[in-house]
Copies of this chain bind each other. A is one copy, B any other.
Amino acid sequence: MFHRLTMFIVFASLVACAQEAPPPAAKVANTAIAPERPKYEITTEAVFSAADVPAYAGSHDAVYDYIDQHIEFHVAELQRWLQQPSVSAQNIGVRDMAELVRQDFVDLGFQEAELVETDGHPGVWGYYDAGADKTLAVYMMYDVQPVDPEDWLSPPFEANIVQHKAGKAIMARGATNQKGPQRAFLNALQSIIATEGKLPVNLMITAEGEEELGSPNYPQIVDQYEERLKTADGVLFPMSGQNLAGRTTLMLGVKGIVYFEAQATGGDWGGPRSAEIHGSNKVIVDSPVWRLVKALSTLVSEDGNTVLVPGFYDDVRPPTEEEQTLINGLATSWNDELRLGLYDVDHWIDGMTGRDAIVEAIYTPSLNIDGIWGGYTGPGTKTILPHTATAKIDTRMPYGQDPDKQLAKIRAHLDAQGYNDIELRMLGGYPAAQTSVDTDLVQSVIQVANKYGEPPTVNPRIFGSAPFYQFTERLGLPMLPAGLGHGGGAHAPNEYFIIEPNEGSDIAGLAEIEKAYVDVIYALSE
């Protein structure tokens, strides 16, 4: 997955403000008139508001009491998870963590709890048969990012309780991404079972140990339970969904992505094939760097913002009626000035603002150069004619587009322009995912959110990507990352998860987070 959690957190921190959009920034005049991108009209003024969804009315006091009485034990359960390293990139403690998760499923009373071998780190499968009508699937990740221990205020695998400006927090690698919220969810299960004897829904959990590597083998885990997973009513991804101000954003969809490298190297077309040569030879030798520059240049308009690849904008599903009302809702809290300031950007492309920018971002495939390199890149002067140059490129695809097809269009365009020597290497990719707001899963989560705080902002689809298509497209299930609570520092030092917020904070503490999960589970069962 591609910086998914980072994207979530950034997004969540942005929706707290609801000022008017500022006047459009002036568009730079020096770019040629760009070819046109398709524009999508919003034809309804209807506005979705989560406030219109009634708050969850159920109350499960015995379970809540149990949680309050066992909160110290529950904190210790989070610490137990966090003290077990599981750094997938460095294979540190990964299998031990998988075994720990499996044993927790056993201890909770799951009828099935097993490691799932893959070509990489193992997954964990858990099935809890409640004999219920409804079945909730849960996606978990048990791996974490690497750490640089000297950068941490508290050692990353001690999971100490520290004082954060927002309240008492656990500091550890994985505190918020993603062990903290996930073990909180299991604490909620434990509390229901301890109090009521069993869960009100059946549960299917697939946990993977390679999320931080891009989930290369997660499809293999799904392979083994595909037909059973398809019978579930929805997929929940437990997360800490509140920002520092306590506001929650729900994301119903993600864009797809194709990430690839484009490389020019000397060959039959010209240029040095095997090594750099002295730069003075450029005068009679073709340059692979110039070739990459010219080939890339054919991909986009003068301003770099409209892709010239034939068919690049095809296959996008235009905004549905539902999505339009969600966009209208999102626009009420969208703040251009705040976002531009955060990124230190003068203006969005074409001077767009507000709803226009939202629609552009969600329904337009992008083509981004993540990196480019070739030749001498150190200080000072070195005069070489490099034999190769490479760019890392990604396209983010709206719902409806297919990764292989998009890459094939780029290939075909380069070939048509005479650049069949430019090598394209796909490093990863998957399509977009979309869940309807009009599903039991999403409605239950909104109801519960409305019970515990301000109604959430509901975002039809973020600009970022995550392989949620595994659930929405492959299994045909609604899928939602959701949960109360606040954390930060994912992929960074001093990662934390608030367990006891300051007095008066709108952030939920661990007990409230667990109670909300209890409510979501009951809401779904009803």
Chain A residues within CB distance 8 Å of chain B: 2-3, 6-7, 10, 28-31, 214, 255, 257, 259, 266-275, 277-287, 289-291, 293-294, 296-297, 300, 302-305, 343-349, 352, 357, 360-361, 364-377, 380-387, 389-390, 392, 394, 396, 417-420, 427-428, 462-465
B283 to A361, Cβ gap below 8 A?
Answer: yes
Residues of B contacting A303 in the complex (Cβ-Cβ under 8 angstroms): 286, 294
CB-CB under 8 A for A289 and B369, given A300-B294, A360-B283, A427-B381: yes
Residues of B contacting A360 in the complex (Cβ-Cβ under 8 angstroms): 283-284
B272 to A367, Cβ gap below 8 A?
Answer: no
Task: Pick the contact of A370: B266, B343, B357, B383 (CB < 8 A).
Answer: B383
A to B CB contacts below 8 Å, 18 in the list:
A3-B278, A3-B382, A10-B278, A28-B268, A28-B269, A28-B418, A280-B462, A282-B366, A284-B360, A286-B305, A286-B349, A293-B297, A293-B372, A297-B297, A370-B381, A372-B372, A381-B394, A381-B427
Could you tell me the distance between the alpha carbons of A286 and B385 in the complex, rounded to whole angstroms? 29
A371 to B361, Cβ gap below 8 A?
Answer: no
Could you tell me the distance between the alpha carbons of A419 and B304 in the complex, rounded to whole angstroms? 13
B293 to A364, Cβ gap below 8 A?
Answer: no
Task: Pick the contact of A427: B259, B380, B418 (CB < 8 A).
Answer: B380
A280 to B383, Cβ gap below 8 A?
Answer: no
Could you tell me the distance between the alpha carbons of A267 and B344 in the complex, rounded to whole angstroms? 9
B389 to A372, Cβ gap below 8 A?
Answer: yes
Could you tell me the distance between the alpha carbons of A66 and B189 in the complex, rounded to whole angstroms? 100
Could you tell me the distance between the alpha carbons of A257 and B367 in the complex, rounded to whole angstroms? 36
Task: Pick the contact of A272: B214, B343, B377, B419 (CB < 8 A).
Answer: B343
Residues of B contacting A366 in the complex (Cβ-Cβ under 8 angstroms): 280, 282-283
B371 to A377, Cβ gap below 8 A?
Answer: yes
A290 to chain B, nearest CB (A): 3
B381 to A345, Cβ gap below 8 A?
Answer: no
A267 to chain B, nearest CB (A): 7
Residues of B contacting A392 in the complex (Cβ-Cβ under 8 angstroms): 375-377, 381-382
Could you tell me the distance between the alpha carbons of A3 and B279 in the complex, rounded to whole angstroms? 9
* Closest Cβ neighbor of A257 among chain B residues: B383
* Closest Cβ neighbor of A268 among chain B residues: B346
